[in-house]
Structure 1
Amino acid sequence: MNFPLVESVIWTLVVILSIVILILIFYLKALRSNIRLTEVRKIKYRNNVEQLLIEFLYSEDVEGEKFSDNQKKIIKKFKKGVPSKNKRQIISNTFFELSREISGNMILTMHKLYEELGLLNFAIKKLRSKKWNIIAIGIKDLRQFKIKRTQNLITKFINHKREEVRREAHLYFLELFGYEGLSFLDNLKAPLSEWDQIQLLREIEKFENHEIIDVTKWLRSENKYVIILILNVVKFFNRLETKEILLELINHSSFEVRIKAIDILTHFEVAEAKEILKNKILELSLKEQIALFELLEKTATIADSVFVLDYISSNNFELKHKALKILKTVDKGLYDKLEKTSNDESYNKIINFLDFSYGI
C-alpha cells in the first residue's frame, strides 16, 4: 500500500475543508452584518414613517383642498417608498399601529392618505392573487383600514376553500358592518371551526345593542355550523325568546345541534324540554341521555321520580349517579326506600357518597 499517496490525499482534503470552513465563517459574518444593517435601516425608516405620519395628521387642512401644501410634500416622501415591497409593508404596518391610537377626523385623514398613496390598490390587487395566503393578507389589510366599499369583492371569499381566507372574510364583515355584517351567514355553506366561532363571538360581543339581533332565521339555517354559532349567541346573551325554536332543534338531524340545543335549554331551565326528551329516551344516544339528566337536575319534580327510578341501575356510571342524585333531591321518601347495598359496587359507592354528602 502506498502510504505517502494516502497521506497526501488526506492533507489535501484537510486544506480544502479548512478553506471551505474559512469561507463559510466569513460568509456568515457578512450575512449577520448585513442582517443587522438591514434591521437598523428598517427601524430608521419605520421611525421616519411614524414621524412623517404624525406630522401629516397634525398639518392644517386648507379649505377647499384635499391636502395642504405640507401634506403634499409628505405624500411625495411616502410615495418614494411605496414601490418597494419592504418599505410598503413598513408604511402599512406603521399606519395600522397608529390608527389604533387615534380617532375621529384623524382616522378619516389617514384613510385618505392610505388611498392617495395607492395602498388601497395594492390591497385590492392581492384579492386577485392565486395564492390563498396573499388573498388573506389583502382582506386583512382592507379590514384593518376599515375600507367598506370593497364588501362586494370580499363576499366571494366567505366560502373559500381555505379556512384562513374564510376567517378573514367573516371578520371583515363583522368588524366593519356590525350586526348588518352577520348577513354573510345567509350564504355561508362552509364549516366553522371552534376557533372561528370563538373569534366571531368575540366580535359579536362588541355589538352595542344585542337586543336588536334577530337570530331566529339563522337558527333555521341549512348549515349546522351557522346554527351552532347562533346557539352560542343565544346562550351568551340569554335570548330566552328563542325557546320555541330551541325546542324544535331537539329533533334536528344534526347530533351536534341537538346536544347544543339541550345544553341551552338546560341553561334556561326550560321544563317543557324534559317531556319531549323523556318521551323519546330510547331513541337518544348516551350523550343525549346524559344531557337530559343534566336538564332534570335543574327541572325535575316529584312527578319525574318514576322515570328517574328506571335509571338507578343503568350500566353507565354517570347516568346512574345523576338518577340517584335527582331521586334523593325530589323524592327523598322514595330514595330512602331503596336498597342501600347491591351486587353492583358502583351503585353502593354512589349511595354511600350521596348519604355522606347530604346526610343520611
Structure 2
Amino acid sequence: MIYLRVLLLFFFALAICLIIFLSFYLFIRKIWRREYGKWDRMIDMLLRKAIFFHEGNTGHPALIPVTQRFQANLKNRRFYNRFIKKIIAAKRNVSGQYGDNLRHLYIQLGLDKKALRLLRSHKWHLKAYAIQQLGTMGLKEHLPRIYRYTNRKNALVRIEAQIAILNLLGVEGLRFLDVTSYQITDWQQIKLLKELSTVPQAELTGIDKWLSSGNSSVIIFALKLARNYRRYELYENIVSCLDHSEPNVRKQAISTLTDIYVENTSEVLLARFDGETYENQIAIMDAIAVIGDVQNVSALFSYLDAGKAQMKFAVARAIVNGSATGLECLMSDPRSKTYPLTDMIPQLKNEMKW
C-alpha cells in the first residue's frame, strides 16, 4: 500500500513539474513572439526605406538612415539572423536600382565583412551561409573567393558557390562545369536550372564541350541545357551520347531528343533499342510516341509480344503515334483482340482525342 502512495505522489509531482515547465515555456515563447514582432516591424521599415531611397546630389554616395537602436540590435545574434534572412529574400524579389539600394545597405552595415569572416570558418554550414549572402547581394568583387568553392568536397558548400557564381555572372557562371570533378546530383541540377531561369538570357556557350565531359553528371546537365535552350545545332553531339557507357546519360539523351530531333530520329532511337536497358527501352518507345515519323511501323510490331504490360503499352503507344496509319495497323493485327491490348487500345484512342 505504501508503494502505491509513493508512486501516486511521484506521478503527481511529475505532473506538477510538467505543468510548471509548459507554463514557463509558453510564457517565454509569448515574450519572444512579441519581441520578434517588434523586430520584424523594425526590419521591414528599414528595408522599405532602403528600397525607395534616393541619393542627393552631394557628389558622394549618401548613407541610408539607420537608427542607433537598429545598429545596436544587430549585435544580437537572433536579430542579425532575422535581418539577414529578410534582406536576402528582399534582394531576390527586386532588381535594378531597388536591388542596388539593398546591396548598398548591406555594405553600409558592414555585413559583407561579417560574411567574409564566416567564409573563413571551418564549419561548412557557415561557409555556405556566407557564400549565399555574397552571391545574392551581387558582390562581384568577391568572385575569386567564391569561385574556389565551386569544386569543394562538401556538396552544400559546392552548390551554394555554383549558384552564387550564376547570380554574379549569369550564364557565363556555368564555366565551373569545365573543372568540376564531383557528381552534380539531380537536386543540384534542379537548383541550377531554377537559378538559370532567373538570370538574364544570353548566348550560352560551352554545351558542346560539356557533352563530351569525363563527368557523366556534367553530360546529363548539358543535355538538359541543350533541351531547355533548344540547341538544335548540337543534334549530332546529343546523338553521340546515345553510345555513352552510362545508362543514365543515354536515358537523358533519349529524353533530350524528344525535343531536339530531325526526320530520322525515331529510326536512330529504334536502332539502339535491342542493346538498351529495360528502363531505357521504355524511354525510347515514349520518345518515338512523341516524335513520330516512323518510316516502317511494322518494325515496332516485333516488340509487341513483350511480357511486361508496361512495355506492351509503350510499344502500342509508339505504334499508334508513330505514323498516320499507326492505329489502323494496330487494329488490324490479330493481337489487338487479345488481353491486355483490348484494354489498352481504348485508352490510346482517348489520348489521340487530346
Length-normalised TM-score, structure 2: 0.79
Structure 1 unaligned residues grouped into runs of 5+: 1-5
Larger radius of gyration: 1
Match of 2:41 in 1: 47
**Residues 1:16 and 1:349: Cα distance change in structure 2 (over 3 Å):** closer
Match of 2:316 in 1: 321
Letter in 1 for 2:192: L
Q: The residue matched to 1:206 in structure 2 has which SS? A: coil
Match of 2:100 in 1: 108
CA contact (8 A) 2:316 2:330 kept: no
C-alpha distance in structure 1 between counterparts of 2:340 and 2:15, whole Å: 74
Match of 1:173 in 2: 165
C-alpha distance in structure 2 between counterparts of 1:92 and 1:327, whole Å: 55
CA contact (8 A) 1:311 1:323 kept: no
Structure 2 unaligned residues grouped into runs of 5+: none
C-alpha distance in structure 1 between counterparts of 2:55 and 2:247, whole Å: 61
CA contact (8 A) 1:210 1:237 kept: no
Match of 2:275 in 1: 283
Give the CA deviation at 1:85.
0.9
Letter in 1 for 2:294: A
Query: Which deviations, in whole Å up to 9, do the C-alpha atoms of 1:89-125 show, x marking residues without a partner?
Result: 2332343344456554453343233223221122222
**Residues 1:313 and 1:25: Cα distance change in structure 2 (over 3 Å):** closer
C-alpha distance in structure 1 between counterparts of 2:317 and 2:47, whole Å: 64
- What is the RMSD computed on CA atoms of the aligned residues? 3.8
Q: Decide which of 249, 255, 271 is 1:257's aligned counterpart.
A: 249
Q: Does 1:266 align with 2:266?
A: no
C-alpha distance in structure 2 between counterparts of 1:233 and 1:299, whole Å: 25
C-alpha distance in structure 2 between counterparts of 1:84 and 1:265, whole Å: 54
Q: Decide which of 142, 154, 160 is 1:150's aligned counterpart.
A: 142
Q: Decide which of 75, 88, 91 is 1:96's aligned counterpart.
A: 88
Match of 1:219 in 2: 211
CA contact (8 A) 1:309 1:323 kept: no
Percent identity over the alignment is 23
Letter in 2 for 1:120: D
Letter in 2 for 1:164: L
**Residues 1:167 and 1:11: Cα distance change in structure 2 (over 3 Å):** same
State the number of aligned residues: 345
Letter in 2 for 1:49: I
Q: Decide which of 223, 245, 254 is 1:231's aligned counterpart.
A: 223
Q: Does 1:87 align with 2:79?
A: yes
C-alpha distance in structure 2 between counterparts of 1:291 and 1:30, whole Å: 59
C-alpha distance in structure 2 between counterparts of 1:305 and 1:104, whole Å: 55
Length-normalised TM-score, structure 1: 0.78
